[in-house]
Each structure stands twice: as structure tokens, then as C-alpha cells.
Chain A
Amino acid sequence: MRKTLLSALAGAALAGLAATASWAEEPRMGGTMTVTYKDDVSTLDPAIGYDWQNWSMIKSLFDGLMDYRPGTTELVPDLAEGYEISGDGKTYTFTLRQGVKFHNGREMTADDVKYSLERVIDPKTQSPGAGFFGAIEGFEALNSGEADTLSGVEAVDDHTVRITLSRPDATFLHVMALNFAHVVPKEAVEEWGQDFGKHPVGTGAYSMEEWTLGQRVVFARNEDYYKEGVPRLDKIVFEVGQEPIVALLRLERGETDIAGDGIPPAKFLQVTKDPKYEGMIVEGDQLHTGYVTMNVAMKPFDDVRVRKAVNMAINKDRIVRIINGRAAPANQPLPPLMPGYAEDYEGFPYDPDGAKALLADAGYGDGFETELFVANTDPQPRIAQAIQQDLAEVGIKAQIKALAQANVIAAGGEKDQAPMIWSGGMAWIADFPDPSNFYGPILGCGGAVPGGWNWAWYCNEELDKRAVAADAMVDTARQDERIAEWRDIFVAIQEEAPWAPIFNEKRYTIRSKRLGGPDAIFVDPVHIPVHYDYVYIKEDQ
């Protein structure tokens, strides 16, 4: 509130000056923004869509009980007005906002919330996000097909939903903010069946206006939206089929507003130093770590000394230079933006001699041969080559296997396929801003299964127990304790070195000068890449 008042005052003071002080502007309503992408938009069904292109689009069409304050990782109620958590942390009672309407005009009620959660867990829906709801009572029965309903979700009255968990889960409110928990109207889902993703109907700030396959998707303002003054724009046009380089040229000419795929890595320096693009690039952090996994189930990476040696052999600063400084070197699995990041932890410094000594100690004084899997899109093979050279310095001869992304993921999911994988292009980016999400699937025993994402096949049962205990600390008063425990868990993991963390990537959004809004919404950590609801178009541009 205070901030709003301040900027209003500043706005009045600067009214006579040029409109360059964008921070002081009142958001203007109306106008059309054009966003370009290379690939076709895949489904916009919130239960199915799970890529970086449709994630934020779905968030503009649909809403969930919870969301984040725009541009931040701070949880706030959204379709819910508020919530109460029981003393044992197992019952959540959400009070729904009154008078929220779907794009088809019908009012959203508690039954829709229950239906949407049941739909996402039902195996027939084939939702990639069903697993997030494992803590809800009755999940197993519904997900295995034994039951038709979800016993843990109850519509108490039209505007109250009670959700019972089978175990306390400190991340549950984050889960309720995921796209997979967004509320859909049953009648529209039943009308369109598997094509609901092409004919989405939600409660969001925008509604679907047009979808021309292979060419464009158009969103129009939802006049009935329940948030005052949102969205700012009348329309968003998403044009697809545009190569990133062409997208940049068109942006420069003022034909488009946001290049959705960002700046191509090979053009990064040229674009950031070009005065034509000055003031159009927004830099931000993301919940991302790029890492090399070492398969602890395969020799010689079953030996912790070898894994440490790899950590010490890689010159991370040089790799950051290779990608033109678009990242910061990492020394632990968690990214700095994530709660639980250990700022005081030093990790394994770059030390090729120390690495050689460790290898000799482990009985590999003459080195060994291994394979490094990598996705075959730029700049990943170049990064893999740098790692390969660093490893060769200490005697490790790694052969590079550059494959299509899907094939690398498939190899990582087999216990005996990939000794080392450079995660670039496929690296874990957190689904929600909580350290728990950086553990279970990628470093916990649950992910070390065929088809899983724990490509190091690292499974420490003792740490698994501590992780479960940490996530049982639901009490808001214990959150600092919980985060401290997660910090210790990740430091303990890094000491075992199943990964060699390389860098935390930054994010760059390039947008036209006519777009207004705080920089933070253009590199929103949750509404990736851009929080479309809060973008506006400045006057006289």
C-alpha cells in the first residue's frame, strides 16, 4: 500500500517530465501485445500443459486457490479468500471468493474445485502433475483407479472446501498454486473431451478468442475478471513458427513486443551490446541449477572420491564465460533464489591437482574412460566440450554423446545407461519455490527409479527420512527451522557429490519499449517467462 502511494506521489511530481520514468507511470488500460514463439503452442489444459511456453499462458486463462504476488515467490490466496490450517497440519479449509465467473458465465463453486482436483489425479486424464497431490487423502485409491472420487476433498458448502491430507505437507499451499490445481468447469471439459486444451474455459484474466493451428493464438480480456484493473491489455496475440533470430529482428522493427524464446545463445553478446536493443532487455534470476550427474550405480562413480575429483576438475568460471556470463557459478544443488540456499557453504573449489590426488587415491591414477551425455542443441555441446577438456586435464577421458533431448532423458532414466549427463537444456527448474521440490524427484530415492529424473541414481535413505520429517513441519512458527534443516540436507548431499553443480542460469526477457510494468513481471519467477496479466502498453509509443 505504502509503495503504491509513493509511486502515485512520484507520478504526480514527474507528470511534466518525459515519460521515460516508467516506474512512476500509472498502468494504462487497453491495447494489443504481440508475443512470438518458435514452436506451436501445445495444449492449454491446466491438467496437462507442462512446458515453459504454455505454463504462463495457462496461468492467464485459469486460476487456482493460491498464487504468488506478481514478480515474487511470495504465496497469496487467489481464488481462495483465505484458508485455515488445523493444528496437526493435516486439514486445510479454504474459503472461496464469491461471484467468480468462468468464461462461460457460470459462477465457480467448491464443487468445481473438487472436480478439478479429482480430474488431475484420475489416471485417465494422463496428467503429468498427478504426483504432486500425493499427500491428499484418498490419492492412491483414485490414482490407481480403485476409487472414482477423492475422499480427502470435501465441498462443505458452495464457497468452502476442506482438504484432508494423509500426512502433514509443508509444501501443500505451493501445490495448490500449481497449474495442475487450477479450477476448470466440468461442463466445458465434458463438452470438449481430449480437445479441452484447444478450447480452454477458466476464470482467468484472459479468455481464448482465436486459435489458428500453426499460426497464432489470441487471448482477449476477461471483462468479468474479479481483480480490479486486471488485466491491462485488451488482447494478446501469440504468433508461432518464428525462429528466434527472426523474432529479434521483428522486435527491433517494432512489429512485435516480446520474443518468447529469448535471445539465441549465439547472438547474446551482439544483442546485449547493440545500442538498438538498449532498455529492452530485463535480467532476472530463476530457480535453476545446471549440473553434471554422476551415476553412482556405475563404476567408477560409485566411489565418492572420484565424484569429488570431478567436482574439483571442472573450471566453472570458464564455462560461465563460454555462455557469455549468462549465469553465476554454482557450488551446491540449490539455486540462490531458493529458500535454504547455503550462502556460507564453499563446496569444492577448482583444483585440478587436488582432483588428480583424489583419483590416485581411489586407484585411478592413470585416469579412466567414460561417457558424457548431452542434449544436442546450442550451447549444450560447447559446454560439454569444456567439461570434457577439464576432465582430460586430470586424466578422465570422457566421450561426448550428443543426442536429442528426449533420448538423453530416456538414457538418464535407465540405471546402466549414462555414466555422466550434462543437464543443460533439461535441467531441473523448480515447479514451485520450495527446497523440497529440488530433492524428491532429482536427488531422493523416489526419483531413482526407471524413468525417473534422479539421473545420479543417488539414494540415501537416511536423508530421505530427514526430508520427510522436514516437510512435516507445517507450523508457520517452525518455518525457519524447516528451511535450516533443508539447508543441512543439501549440504550433506553435496558432500557426497552425486552432482557437480556448474552454474545457476539467469533469465533474460527482451521486450519492446512500448510495454510497461515493473521489470519483475517480465522475469517473473513463477509466471515464466512473463506475467501477462500485469503488462500494459505505454502511451505515445
Chain B
Amino acid sequence: MVAYLIRRLVQAVLILIGVSFVTFVLLYLVPADPARQIAGRSATAATVESIREQLGLNLPFYEQYWRYFVNLIQGDFGRSYIQKSQVGELIAARLPPTLLLMAAAICAELVFGLTMGVIAAANRRRIGDNLLMIVSFVGVSAPQFVVGILLLYLFAVKLGWFPIGGYGTAAHIVLPALSLGFLGAGWYSRMMRSSMLDVLEQDYVRTARAKGAGRWRVIVAHAVPNALLPVIAMIGIDIGLFMSGIVVVESVFGWPGIGQLAWQAIQRVDIPVIMGVTVVSATAIVLGNLLADLVAPFIDPRIKLR
């Protein structure tokens, strides 16, 4: 177990170094000169040169990366070219709203996905099953910005049940969490359905039925707890899925998280911020996957860590 953990942590660090290097290379190749971008349209040559000097843009590529890397492991992400603040500060201010949104989205996708899966399995091959599977199919395939805009239009603009974007109260979180969770709900309902169908064929379910337990008692008390385990193990992997979703959903709903920060930074070619957000989200994804793998054997004893 300990050896496994160490091996996985070393792997994680290597992956993160790789991610930071690849992103750095890609951004290095962007044909915009950061010094001129910071200096603006009326700058003198002396100002541009001074900026280049201070940012180390005159150094060879590998030295620039090394400088970035050494600062990074000390927790220094550099300063935003556009906003001029510490990138670490910008990300730290926006991380709590993003984590909150993700937590809400996980609740939403589990509640909707699992319920749909159970009902579909219980009504296998009947009309309810087919309808729910169509909904889940839409959930899996609809782009998140479309879902977000539709929800916003229907429930905020037309019906006025929720605020039109923003942050602050519990009402603000409902629509973005649903938009973000809709995709996951689609996946979970399919996984839950097939997991339920497996379980419902098991001997102990037949035994329970034979003992005279009612249909819903069998499903809720006997089948669901067992069918749930393999599904729960997937939550860690969701974090990776969410990382791409939050860029879209946060922008649609004006949610002040790191997805919105990333979107702004990309539009304005704010390289240190793009780097910072990439490194932070890569870390979250790697940790999420690691967590999923570590939790799996506790949920399902057949899985062994090696």
C-alpha cells in the first residue's frame, strides 16, 4: 500500500512537470511578444527593453522554463501581464467558488443520475426506461454551453425563478450546478442502470424476492447499495470532466471561479495566468484520479492495489 502510494505520487509529480513543460512550450510559441503587450502601444524602446529584462524574456528558452519552474515549486506563479496581480492571488481568490460549484454539481449529478438509473433498471425495456435513457443520451451528448444557456433562458429569464447569473446566494448556484452536472447525470444514469441490472440477476436478490420482500424493498434495500459501489468509485474522475466544463459554465453564468479566469486569460493572451490555471487544474485532475484509485479497494474488496 505504502509502496503503491509512493509510486503513484512520484508518477503524479512527473505528470505535473510534463504538463507544465508542454504548456510552457505551447505558450512560448504563441506569436505575441509579452514585453510589447505589457508595454502597450505608446511605449518607448527603453520601457520594452526594461520589461523584457525584468521578465527574463531575453534568456534562452530552457533558462526561462527553469526560472518558471523554480518559482513554481516555491509557490510563485508570477504576475499577470494584464491584471498585474500575483497569479497565485488571482487563483486563490477564485478557487473557493469553483470548489463550491463542483461540490454542488457532484450532488446534482449523483441525485439525478442515480435516481434515473435505478428507475430505468426497475422498468427495464419499458416506456419509463426508454424515456430516461433518451434523457441521459441527451445529457451525455449536449454541449454544456447549450444546456447552460437553455436553463438560463427558461428558468431565469422567462420564469424568473433564479437570478440571471452571478454569485452570492444559494439560488445563484442551482442553474450552474445543474448545467455542469447534467453531463455527469447522463453517465451515472447509464452506469447505474447497467450496474443495477447486474445486481438484480444475483442470487441474493432472488432469495430476497423468494422471502417475500416487495419489489421496491428489494430494489432500494438490497440492490441499490450493492450497485452503488462501482459507480461511487468514479467520482474522483469527474474532477477531470468538470475542469473542462467549468470554463464554459462559469462564463455563461458569470460565476467567479477559475474557469472564468482561464477564459479571460486565454482571450487576452495573459500567459502567466493561463500557465497557472493549467497547472492548478492538472494538479486537481491528477489528485482526483489518485483518490479514485485509492478509494476503490475500500468500496470493492476485489480490487487490490499493487
Residue of A128, A129, A404, A409 with most chain B CB atoms under a 10 A cut-off: A128
Nearest residue (CB) in B for A215 is B256
Minimal beta-carbon separation of A192 from chain B (angstroms): 11
In Å, the complex CA distance between A479 and B41 comes to: 27
In Å, the complex CA distance between A212 and B33 comes to: 30
Tell me, yes or no, whether B195 is within 8 Å of chain A by CB. no
Minimal beta-carbon separation of B281 from chain A (angstroms): 16
> Do the beta carbons of B32 and A451 come within 8 Å of each other?
no
In Å, the complex CA distance between A409 and B41 comes to: 9
> Do the beta carbons of A130 and B43 come within 8 Å of each other?
yes
Stretch at the interface among A40-48, A80-88, A310-318, A516-524: A40-48
Q: Mark A67-84, 1 if CB is under 8 A from B, else 0.
A: 000000000000000000
> Do the beta carbons of B47 and A130 come within 8 Å of each other?
yes
In Å, the complex CA distance between A143 and B86 comes to: 26
> Do the beta carbons of A130 and B79 come within 8 Å of each other?
no
Tell me, yes or no, whether A476 is within 8 Å of chain B by CB. no
In Å, the complex CA distance between A527 and B222 comes to: 69
Enumerate chain B residues within 8 angstroms of A130, measured Cβ to Cβ: 43-44, 46-47
In Å, the complex CA distance between A195 and B264 comes to: 20
Residue of B37, B44, B46, B252 with most chain A CB atoms under a 10 A cut-off: B44
Interface residues of A in 23-74 (CB under 8 A from B): 39-40, 42-43, 45, 48, 50
Pick from B46, B164, B256: contact of A246, CB under 8 Å: B164
Enumerate chain B residues within 8 angstroms of A241, measured Cβ to Cβ: 167, 254-256, 260
Given A144-B46, A195-B85, A404-B267, are A246 and B254 also a contact pair (CB < 8 Å)?
A: yes
Pick from B38, B42, B79: contact of A132, CB under 8 Å: B42
Pick from B33, B40, B44, B50: contact of A410, CB under 8 Å: B33
Minimal beta-carbon separation of A138 from chain B (angstroms): 14
Q: Considering only CB atoms and an 8 Å cut-off, how many residues of chain A contact the other chain?
A: 49
In Å, the complex CA distance between A526 and B49 comes to: 30
Tell me, yes or no, whether A406 is within 8 Å of chain B by CB. yes
Tell me, yes or no, whether A145 is within 8 Å of chain B by CB. yes
In Å, the complex CA distance between A256 and B166 comes to: 12
Stretch at the interface among B88-96, B126-134, B199-207: B88-96
> Do the beta carbons of A126 and B47 come within 8 Å of each other?
yes
Enumerate chain B residues within 8 angstroms of A45, measured Cβ to Cβ: 84
Enumerate chain B residues within 8 angstroms of A39, measured Cβ to Cβ: 264, 268
Tell me, yes or no, whether A453 is within 8 Å of chain B by CB. yes
> Do the beta carbons of A48 and B41 come within 8 Å of each other?
no
In Å, the complex CA distance between A431 and B152 comes to: 39
Q: Considering only CB atoms and an 8 Å cut-off, how many residues of chain B contact the other chain?
A: 51
Given A126-B38, A128-B38, A243-B254, are A213 and B90 also a contact pair (CB < 8 Å)?
A: yes
Minimal beta-carbon separation of B250 from chain A (angstroms): 8
Tell me, yes or no, whether A242 is within 8 Å of chain B by CB. yes
> Do the beta carbons of A123 and B47 come within 8 Å of each other?
yes
In Å, the complex CA distance between A250 and B253 comes to: 12
Nearest residue (CB) in A for B36 is A451
Enumerate chain B residues within 8 angstroms of A212, measured Cβ to Cβ: 93
Enumerate chain B residues within 8 angstroms of A128, measured Cβ to Cβ: 38-43, 47
Given A126-B47, A214-B93, are A42 and B255 also a contact pair (CB < 8 Å)?
A: no
In Å, the complex CA distance between A453 and B42 comes to: 8
Enumerate chain B residues within 8 angstroms of A40, measured Cβ to Cβ: 83, 261, 264
Enumerate chain A residues within 8 angstroms of B241, measured Cβ to Cβ: none
Nearest residue (CB) in A for B260 is A241
Tell me, yes or no, whether A249 is within 8 Å of chain B by CB. yes
Interface residues, chain B, CB within 8 Å of chain A? 30-33, 36-51, 54, 79-80, 82-86, 89-90, 93-94, 97, 152, 157, 164-167, 251-252, 254-257, 260-261, 264, 267-269
- 26 pairs from A and B in contact (CB 8 Å cutoff): A42-B80, A42-B83, A43-B83, A123-B46, A123-B49, A123-B50, A126-B51, A128-B38, A128-B41, A128-B47, A131-B43, A132-B42, A143-B44, A143-B47, A194-B79, A198-B85, A213-B85, A214-B256, A215-B167, A246-B164, A246-B254, A250-B164, A407-B32, A407-B269, A409-B32, A449-B45
